[in-house]
Amino acid sequence: MEREKLLDIRDLSVRYTTDGIISRAVNHVSFSLDKGRILGLVGETGAGKTTTALSLMGLLPKYTSEIEGELQFQGKDLAKISEKEFRNIRGRHISMIMQDPMTSLNPVFRVGDQIADVIKIHNKGMKKNEVNEEVDRILTMVGISPDRKNEYPHQFSGGMKQRVMIAIAIACKPDLLIADEPTTALDVTIQAQVIKMMKNLQKELGSAVILITHDLGLVANFCDDVAIMYAGEIVEYGTLEDVFDRTKRHHPYTDGLFGAIPNLTVKTDRLTPIAGMTPNPAELPEGCKFHPRCPRCMEKCESGEVPVSVRDGHRMQCHLALEEDVK
Ligand code: SF4
C-alpha cells in the first residue's frame, strides 16, 4: 500500500525557563509518521516524550517554554501557527488521551455531555439529535452502553473512565491520536482490553497513533515504528522489526531497556537495570547524553557531537552505530 506522510518533525527543540534556570527538555528531535501507522515513543520518565506530544497539541506553557524547529502537519508548521488556528486542529485533527483518566475528566459533567461538547465545538451546524446519535455511536465504539451517557465519571471504574477518555479523543475522528501512557493507571487485564480496543479503533478510523510509553511489551503488540528517546533526543528509530531484532546493532540505551525486562528464552536469576539516573534536563552532560551510564563509553563519547547513522531507515545516534551487527 502507498504510504503517505502525515507528520514530519524536523529538528524540534523545546526549552523551559523557570527562575532563570533553562531546562532542555527536547533536543533536535526529528521523525516522521505516515497515515495509519502507529509509532511507539519509548523512554524513561523525563526523556522528553510528553513535551514532544504537548508541542504537537500546542499545549506548551506559554510564558515559560520556547520552541524551535518544524512540526509539519497537513501542510502547516504547528510550531508557527497561532492559538486560534490551533483550536481548529486540536481535537478535530490531532487529539490526545492523557495519562490519568481519574483526573482528566470533569467530575461535575455527565460523560455523554463531555463527549457531546467536543463534537459540537468542531461541528457547529450539527443538530441536537444528530449530536446525541453521534455520542451513542462513539460510546458503542469504545464498548460502553449508550444507556450510561447520563452518568457521572465517579460512577465508572478506572478502565471504563479510560474508555470515556478515548471516546472524547476520537469523537471527531482525528487524523493523529496521541496516547500518553494510556494504560499506566489500569490493572493488567484492563490494560490488555483497552489496548485491543485502541487497535480496533485505529483500524476502523485509519488514524495515525503516537503511543507514549515505557512498556516495550505494549510496543511489541501495538506499534509499527519505534523511536527510543533519552534525555530529550531520539537515540534510535526504526520499524518494530529493526528495533526488536536482537541480532542487529542497537543503541546501548535500547539494549539497556531490553536487559531490564524478563526474557523467556534466556535463563537468568535477575534482571539488569540500567545503572544511574536520567540526567536533569537543566544539567545535561557534554558529548553523548548517555555516556555517564553507558557500559560501552569511550573517550570520544565524553565530548563533542555524536554522529547519527542511518542503515535502511534504521537510525542511531551512537559512535558504535557503524559496527557490525551482533550475530
Ligand atoms: Fe555509549 Fe558512546 Fe554510544 Fe553514547 S556514543 S551510547 S557513550 S558508546
Cα(317) to ligand 1 centroid in Å equals 8
pLDDT at res. 265: 58
Q: Is the pTM of this model over 0.95?
A: no
| 3 state DSSP class of 124 | coil
pLDDT in tens, 170-224: 888 899 999 998 877 677 777 777 788 788 888 888 899 999 998 898 899 899 9
As a whole number, the mean pLDDT across the chain is 90
| 3 state DSSP class of 226 | strand
- Measured CA distances, 216 to 47, 75, 230 (Å): 15, 32, 15
Q: Give the mean pLDDT of 297-306.
A: 95
Cα(7) to ligand 1 centroid in Å equals 29
* Per-residue burial over 23-33, b = 16 or more CB atoms within 10 Å of its CB, e = otherwise: bbbbbbbbbeb
Walk across the sheet containing 21-34 and list its strands: 21-34, 5-18, 65-73, 76-77
Q: Which atom of ligand 1 is nearest to the CA of 319?
A: 5
Walk across the sheet containing 208-213 and list its strands: 94-97, 176-180, 208-213, 38-42, 225-230, 233-239, 314-317, 308-311
pLDDT in tens, 234-273: 999 999 999 999 888 999 999 999 886 666 555 556 666 7
Nearest CA to ligand 1 atom 5: 318
Within the chain, strands assigned E span: 5-18, 21-34, 38-42, 65-73, 76-77, 94-97, 176-180, 208-213, 225-230, 233-239, 308-311, 314-317
pLDDT in tens, 134-180: 999 999 988 899 999 999 999 999 888 988 998 999 888 899 999 99
pLDDT in tens, 93-117: 999 988 776 778 999 999 999 999 9
